């Protein structure tokens, strides 16, 4: 693929995810989606940059904020919208909601909202692949909050000990709900050094620059594939909306206006769109065409979902393990 084609694809995927999230936010007050939603607006570059280097049969795990990972890995949009509506056409047959997305055809193994919980699950998946001699890279997405869970360290240790092909991706948006990093962690705590101390290569990438994320994660993923050893990356990023729900919560003042505005000025979509236009790789007309195409795709998914049935009563206890 030429550089321009790759760059267009990266921008298209980010715009698509943003539009899906905006439509969910717009329709949320209709009360047809009755599950909590943790939207990814502002953080799209991380998912798109990394997933653009994964193969279809590579595997991905996520947490409570998972729509963008699911979509960037190729998860089916209508099945996701169906799941948010609790409908039978949902990817978890309407039993999971926004925080339990799954699409095995696209390698989306699980999203689980217990903070940190998918880290050991992902390592277990990679361990299983190794025992079955399957050549797959497992990518685990989690937030800065998850690195405060003990199981994170056990999982890194296990992956390092057994040389498992895992990409650990920490999306550091500086907050766990309303608590900033400074309220939660000692000043000089450096997650890269901590993970390096366990023998795992660790790198930091600017979480707003999709081209950079694509380029560097391409190198890391091929290194993981060849050397069969885990790598940890941290990407600094920022969520534009409230922790959970369709609105912003700037009125609560746990984040200063200065901070919010600074990060909004680095909006990953605006950044990359401007860069491509400046480099004559793109024009506004093309973006408008994309937006119209995406609009139709999203409308189709919502319309189909709203016409779909809720699961029947006898589905209620099926495939329930806890
Ligand atoms: C074990 C556990 N503790 C607390 C919660 C409540 N909770 C849900 S999301 C969240 C914030 C997690 O922050 P982070 O991992 O940084 O992800 P972000 O929301 O910033 O994407 C918390 C504390 C939970 N779901 N699970
Ligand atoms: Mg966070």
Token pair 């209508």 is at which residue?
Answer: 78
- Could you give the domains of the chain? 3-315 (3.40.50.970)
pTM value > 0.95: yes
Beta strands 138-143 and 59-62: pairing type?
parallel
Give the SS3 label for residue 288. helix
Say what the pLDDT of residue 286 is.
Answer: 97
**Ligand 1 contact, 79 CB (< 6 A):** no
The answer to whether residues 214 and 49 touch, using CB atoms and an 8 Å cutoff, is yes
Mutate to test the pocket of ligand 1, among 115, 181, 184 (most ligand atoms within 8 A of CB): 115
pLDDT along the chain (322 residues), means of 10: 90 98 98 98 98 98 98 98 98 96 98 98 98 98 98 98 98 98 96 98 98 98 98 98 98 98 98 97 97 98 98 89 76
Q: Which atom of ligand 1 is nearest to the CA of 149?
A: 1
**Other residues' Cβ atoms within 10 Å of the Cβ of residue 223:** 15
177 lines ligand 1 (CB under 6 A): yes
Sheet bearing 138-143, strands edge to edge? 108-111, 59-62, 138-143, 166-172, 231-236, 201-206
pLDDT of residue 296: 98
Output b/e per residue, 104-123; b: 16+ Cβ within 10 A. Answer: eebbbbbbbbebbbbbbbbb
Q: What pLDDT is stored for residue 317 in this prediction?
A: 87
Residue nearest atom 11 in ligand 1 by C-alpha distance: 176
Triad 60, 75, 47: Cα angle to 5°? 55
With a 6 A CB cut-off, is 64 part of the ligand 1 pocket? Answer: yes
- What does the pLDDT read at residue 1? 62
Which pair of tokens denotes residue 145? 């909050």
- Quick one: pLDDT at residue 272? 98
């Amino acid at each position: 693929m030429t550089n321009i084609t790759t760059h267009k694809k990266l921008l298209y995927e980010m715009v698509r995810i943003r539009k899906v999230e905006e439509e969910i936010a717009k329709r949320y007050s209709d009360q047809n989606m009755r599950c909590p939603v943790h939207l990814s607006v502002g953080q799209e570059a991380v998912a798109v940059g990394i997933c653009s280097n994964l193969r279809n049969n590579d595997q991905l795990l996520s947490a409570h904020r998972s729509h963008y990972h699911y979509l960037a890995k190729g998860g089916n949009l209508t099945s996701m919208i169906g799941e948010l509506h609790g409908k039978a056409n949902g990817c978890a047959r309407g039993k999971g909601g926004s925080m339990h997305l799954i699409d095995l055809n696209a390698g989306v193994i699980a999203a689980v909202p217990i903070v940190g919980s998918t880290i050991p699950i992902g390592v277990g998946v990679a361990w299983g692949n190794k025992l079955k001699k399957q050549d797959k890279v497992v990518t685990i997405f989690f937030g800065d909050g998850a690195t405060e869970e003990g199981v994170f360290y056990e999982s890194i240790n296990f992956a390092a000990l057994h040389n498992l092909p895992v990409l650990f991706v920490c999306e550091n948006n500086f907050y766990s709900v309303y608590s900033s990093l400074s309220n939660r962690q000692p000043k000089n705590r450096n997650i890269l050094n901590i993970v390096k101390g366990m023998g795992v290569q660790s790198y930091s990438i600017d979480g707003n620059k999709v081209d950079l994320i694509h380029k560097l994660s391409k190198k890391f993923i091929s290194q993981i594939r060849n050397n069969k050893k885990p790598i940890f990356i941290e990407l600094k990023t920022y969520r534009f909306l409230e922790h959970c729900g369709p609105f912003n919560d700037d009125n609560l003042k746990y984040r200063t206006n200065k901070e919010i505005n600074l990060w909004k000025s680095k909006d990953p979509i605006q950044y990359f769109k401007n860069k491509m236009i400046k480099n004559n790789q793109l024009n506004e007309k093309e973006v408008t065409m994309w937006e119209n195409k995406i609009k139709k795709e999203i409308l189709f998914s919502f319309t189909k979902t709203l016409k779909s049935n809720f699961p029947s009563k006898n589905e209620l206890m099926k495939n329930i393990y806890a």
